[in-house]
Amino acid sequence: MYLPDTSRRDLLDQLRRQASDPRRRILLTGATVVSMDPAVGTLPTGDVLIEGDAVAAVGPDLRAGGTVAGAVVVDASGCVVTPGFVDTHRHAWEAQLRRIMPDVDDLAGYVTTTLLGYAPAYRPADMYTGTRLAALTALDGGITTMLDFSHNSRTAEHSDAAVQALLDTGIRGVHAAMAPHFGEWDKQWPADLARLRDTYRSDLLTFRLACLATDEIAGPELAYGPRLARTARELGVGVSVDAVFGPASSQAVLAWERDGLLGEDVTLIHATGLTGEAWRAIGATGTTIALAPTSDAQIGLESAIPAVDEALAAGVRPGLSIDVEVALASDMFTQMRALHAIQRMRAVNAVYGTGREPRRIGTQDVLDFATLQGARTNGLAGVTGSLTPGKQADLLVVRAEDINNMPLNDAVGTVVLGSDPRNVDAVFVAGQVRKWDGRLLDVDLAALRAEVAASRDHVLAATGGR
């Protein structure tokens, strides 16, 4: 949106004044619209009309139809409008420990340092600070929905703090609750999930039960099986299963299939190094997959290869996730680019010297994984993930004529391969503006910086700086 500063401020004032009006209208006009809805497609020049918290219409020139009376008109020429990104798995409470172990070599190193070392020192206030920081960073980079795999729920107060942090940022949050791996805790999980679900009621908040694939890391109490599946079904929530990799997880997947514990309400995270039989079971049951491209490759989880080819071969289009910021990047642009490059490298390498044609994914695929498939993976396919009339107005405006993007030749390629958080001009969640003119709104950065540093310093002091 290349407008004078006064016009930008005036528009923001208008958006603010109508924020509480359930009939508010916002028209984004003149953008290249990448809807991620096959029925709508991509419009080289188009408009998006928001009414209240939902997308009302998408078309080449909505003003010509006379249906936009009273709308705040935002000139988005020179920009690409896309659905907001969907993060299917992030351990948000760790955010104040970002990049504290950038070259961690394996899962054991992460587990020992973070889950055994730092996690027991967290107070509820630290849970709040880390989760809020992660959610604000997500919004800044165009992630409008974030699944927080909150696996440090030592007390009910720790869980309350994590949930409140999601609510306070205005992100579309999915709180996936799990007990800690190690150390003292109140044994309130998973029963406390019912209290959380009944206490915190918001259109922007949903809940899931989080657990591990096997008992190898933290014992049987946290491992998915009939008991936890029954709890989730009684609560009416989905299940997110982390640390799904290797032979033990492959055997677990087959046992879950046999016991009827798989399905579209179950998400398996990572899914690296699984057997062909396990993938058959996943595909046959409609179970969803959350890939963590940089986590698998950088930390070296099992085969270290994100399982996109295996998922697609099983008929599963996966979602994407950030995972652990103690060692990894925080944004979805990095995940899309990493997966795009790794898969294409792997595809070409597999047929090198044979004369066969490699089976490569494209930029449209990874953007689909980061939006529509992420929403489906989080159980929100009917809510977000595409610019479909009737869905929630979760979207971002990407500047396509910035120095690193100009000139705009291919909209999807520009978003996936050219852009980063600095190009995200505006972010809307449920029709409410959360980022404007390249800046997060309603965030005192100086106060946040002090809060984050104080929390980190407490954790390091309490653990001897491990």
Nearest to 99 by CA among 114, 87, 117: 114
Domain assignment of residue 116, yes or no: yes
- 236 and 358 co-located in one domain: yes
- 418 and 360 co-located in one domain: no
Nearest to 31 by CA among 49, 5, 14: 49
The whole-number pLDDT of residue 3 equals 55
Beta bridge partners of 288: 267
The whole-number pLDDT of residue 2 equals 57
- 185 and 37 co-located in one domain: no
CATH number at residue 357: 3.20.20.140
Domain assignment of residue 452, yes or no: no
The whole-number pLDDT of residue 160 equals 98
- 118 and 51 co-located in one domain: no
Domain boundary among 330, 355, 377: 377
Domain assignment of residue 461, yes or no: no
Q: What does the pLDDT look like over 180-189, one tens digit per residue?
A: 999 999 999 9
- Tell how strand 288-291 and strand 266-272 pair up: parallel
Find the mean pLDDT for residues 325-334.
Answer: 98
Give 457's pLDDT tier (boundaries 50, 70, 90): very high
Alpha carbon distance 302, 243 (integer Å) = 10
Domain assignment of residue 457, yes or no: no
- 391 and 300 co-located in one domain: no
Find the mean pLDDT for residues 15-23.
Answer: 90
Domain assignment of residue 228, yes or no: yes
- 294 and 413 co-located in one domain: no
The whole-number pLDDT of residue 19 equals 87
Percent of the chain with pLDDT over 90: 93
Find the mean pLDDT for residues 107-130.
Answer: 96
CB-count exposure of residue 395 (10 Å: 0-12, 13-18, 19+): buried
- Look over the chain and give the mean of its residue pLDDT values, rounded to a whole number: 96
- 223 and 314 co-located in one domain: yes
**Count of other CB atoms within 10 angstroms of residue 156:** 16
Q: What share of the chain is helix, strand, coil (3-state, %, to 5)?
A: 40, 25, 35
Find the mean pLDDT for residues 109-122.
Answer: 96
Number of domains in the chain: 2
Domain assignment of residue 451, yes or no: no
Domain assignment of residue 352, yes or no: yes
**Model confidence at 78: pLDDT above 80:** yes
- 62 and 199 co-located in one domain: no
Q: What does the pLDDT look like over 42-69, one tens digit per residue?
A: 999 999 999 999 999 999 999 887 778 8
Give 7's pLDDT tier (boundaries 50, 70, 90): confident
The whole-number pLDDT of residue 53 equals 97
Cα 157 off chain centre by? 24
Domain boundary among 332, 357, 377: 377
**Model confidence at 169: pLDDT above 80:** yes
Q: What does the pLDDT look like over 281-313, one tens digit per residue?
A: 999 999 999 999 999 999 999 999 999 999 999
Local structure of 292: helix, strand or coil: coil
CATH number at residue 427: 2.30.40.10
- 227 and 321 co-located in one domain: yes
Structure tokens at 205: 């908040």
Compute the C-alpha angle 384/161/178, nearest 5°: 70
The whole-number pLDDT of residue 466 equals 59
Structure tokens at 114: 């973070």
- 125 and 263 co-located in one domain: yes
pTM exceeding the 0.75 threshold for the entire prediction: yes
User: Are the beta carbons of 416 and 367 closer than 8 angstroms?
Assistant: yes
Helix axes 246-258, 276-285, angle to 10 degrees: 40
Alpha carbon distance 116, 112 (integer Å) = 5
User: Are the beta carbons of 236 and 257 closer than 8 angstroms?
Assistant: no
The per-residue DSSP string of 372-393 comes to HHHHHHTT-TTTSSS--TTSB-
Give 6's pLDDT tier (boundaries 50, 70, 90): low
Q: What does the pLDDT look like over 338-392, one tens digit per residue?
A: 999 999 999 999 999 999 999 999 999 999 999 999 999 999 999 999 999 999 9
Domain assignment of residue 448, yes or no: no
Q: What does the pLDDT look like over 390-415, one tens digit per residue?
A: 999 999 999 999 999 999 999 999 99
**Model confidence at 318: pLDDT above 90:** yes
- 37 and 162 co-located in one domain: no
The whole-number pLDDT of residue 1 equals 62
Q: Is-cis flag, bond preceding 407, omega within 30?
A: yes
Largest CA distance in the chain: 65
Span between the terminal Cα atoms of the chain, in Å:
46
Q: What does the pLDDT look like over 205-262, one tens digit per residue?
A: 999 999 999 998 878 999 999 999 999 999 999 999 999 999 999 999 999 999 999 9
Q: Cα dist. 8→53, 86, 259, 301 in Å?
A: 21, 27, 57, 46
- 234 and 112 co-located in one domain: yes
The domain of 293 spans 85-377
Give 202's pLDDT tier (boundaries 50, 70, 90): very high
Residue that has been written with the tokens 């010509």 in this structure: 64
